[in-house]
Amino acid sequence: ELNRLVNQGNDLKDVLKYAQSITNDDDFDWSAIKSEKQDQQKTDTGKPEKIGSIVKDKADYAYNFEREEQTTLSGTTCHLKVCIHKAFIVELELEYARASNTLIVHQYDIRGLKEEKQLSQGSQYLVFQKLSLLAAVAFEDMTTLFARESFFYILDWLSSYHDLFTAPCIRCHKVLQFDSPVYKYTPPVVRTWNTKHTTDRTAVAYHMRCYHEHKNSQAIALF
């Protein structure tokens, strides 16, 4: 009996060690993320990326910290600029909430690569206006996860738009589809994303109408 209790105690120790390692993995730190970014750049190119460079050759996306993070009463804030190769630029105002270990997207702006717009002005192009509406839903879903997970899921989702103007919709197999009298013809502006309850593959291209049809067919299949 004593041996059994000792073995159970050792098993419990292993479980607690594993739980502790998972907790540590969820720790969020801007400096560590910057360090990982620099390491990745060295791996990708063999040398660090030039300071101030946004677009990196043959990359789906690149991101820069536009200013140093600021400490707040609840955590830290950061301004990030992401360039999606051959697609668009996104600027994000992010806050790390320390108590809940979550990420908050306070403000974002999606615009064309050559648009000179200030944050919150919005894009002049209908396709990016449409994408901005979708991003509100996507960011809300992804920020229900832990901060570190949210951050990289957001980057992965944005990077999936590198073929925004060339990839056909997985449902109708077309590139352009009439969206509405307001947005006219658009490419597949939806890319599926990670959530707590993801069942679909991520980064799959849909037109907005096709995506709604897909979700409706899934709902009907449940009954």
| pLDDT tier at 41, thresholds 50, 70, 90 | low
| pLDDT tier at 198, thresholds 50, 70, 90 | low
CA distances from 131 to 31, 73, 118, 187, 190 (A): 30, 32, 17, 10, 8
pLDDT tens for residues 6-36?
454 454 545 444 444 444 445 677 877 777 7
Q: What is the pLDDT of residue 109?
A: 94
Q: What is the pLDDT of residue 165?
A: 96
Q: What is the pLDDT of residue 54?
A: 35
Other beta carbons less than 10 A from residue 190's beta carbon: 23
Percent of the chain with pLDDT over 90: 51
* Mean pLDDT score across all residues of the chain: 80
Give the start-to-end residue ranges of the domains of the chain.
59-161, 167-222
Backbone angles phi, psi at 14, to 5 degrees: -60, -40
State pTM to two decimals.
Answer: 0.78
Question: Rounded distance, CA 167 to CA 121, Å?
Answer: 28
Q: What angle do CA 19, 24, 25 make, to 5 degrees?
A: 95
CA distances from 93 to 27, 113, 174 (A): 20, 19, 34
